[in-house]
Structure 1
Amino acid sequence: MEKVEIWSAIGTVASALAAFFALVVAYFAYRAGQTSADSTAALTRIETRRIWAETIPQFRILIQAEADTYALMRVELVGPPNLDRLDEIQISIRDDYHARGASQVAGGPTAEEVANHVWGPYRFRRGIDGGSENGRTVAPFRLPLGEGSYFAMDRQFPPPWNKSGTETSWRREYEGKPVRLLLRCMREGFGPWTVPVEVFVTSLQEEATSLPAEGA
């Protein structure tokens, strides 16, 4: 083989090796960049999640029995201080037991009928404040921090298929038990929050006895 051919072959190999090492360097540089970008994205997700958790809405909810058959609920947004408002709140009444209707009895109500009935001491008043036909929900609403909204409620009755149950026995079953609520909250710039709350119903008499006496 001529010397010129030898040097030409060596030059070709050297060029190929240089190209290979350049590719290797470029690959590791790319991987380092990807790792850095992934780390930055992970830190951003962690920080976003931290801020979201620190901004979970806080409510003060009072349900006061105004008479024997109806009550008034007040929902107030009280915190945290860095949450200036909620753009939308969807509030619903949870059943006393989350798996109501899971087991069906032959000849009994359907799962849909069971799910359509509010199992608890009170329901929202139908047609008032956007109250649904079954009394489980009201129309979505917004609240600024420190403000509240009122909602009319009625005592719940036994389901129509419960022939053996009476209103008296139904009341006895839920006497002293809370109204179980679920508040789905939305605010621009944040992921949605879901806040479960249980509220015991107070009476006008209880409210009066909790107030300080004059001159105290």
Structure 2
Amino acid sequence: MRLVLLGPPGAGKGTQAQILVQTYGIPQLSTGDMLRAAIAAQTPMGLEAKAIVDRGDLVSDEIVSGIISDRMDEPDCANGFILDGFPRTIAQAEALNHMLDRKGLHLDAVVEIKADPDILVKRIVKRAQESGGARADDNEEVLRKRLDVYVQQTAPLVSFYANEGLLRSVDGMAPIDDVTGAIKAAIGGS
């Protein structure tokens, strides 16, 4: 099963991806996690990405696409994967389609986790306080900028994937188990 999870920052994509990983035995390909790993390792790409992420901006399509393409070639992706954080733009979605075509693959579904932006800000600020502010992007100013970027650049993917017949929308403001159930029902899983 090959899935894309869409939704604004803090909507629960990472939480739901982990549940789906356990359920379907396929890996989560989180650009955020991959970028944070590169930042923590202080690789040249990681240092470049850190400056971009700390500003609340998005890393270039070229860097992200390369990371994703290489990761899809790993053996644990043979039965599918869950893309979390990619694609973020129409250009990335088109690049993903070409990438999958070259690999002889296709997406099974794109799940949009809908969430209220004001509640998300409160959720993320609370997460930062509880974790001691472990992530530089977990502050209200950066989060609001990320939400604005999401609305401008990523939200158009909803129409893009609806036109391709792949979009499935669920209410991300429901309790975690209810969101999981809605996702499984939407993608035809059990």
TM over 0.5: no
- State the structure with more CA Rg: 1
Question: TM-score with structure 1 length normalisation?
Answer: 0.21
Name the structure with the higher strand share. 1
Question: TM-score with structure 2 length normalisation?
Answer: 0.23
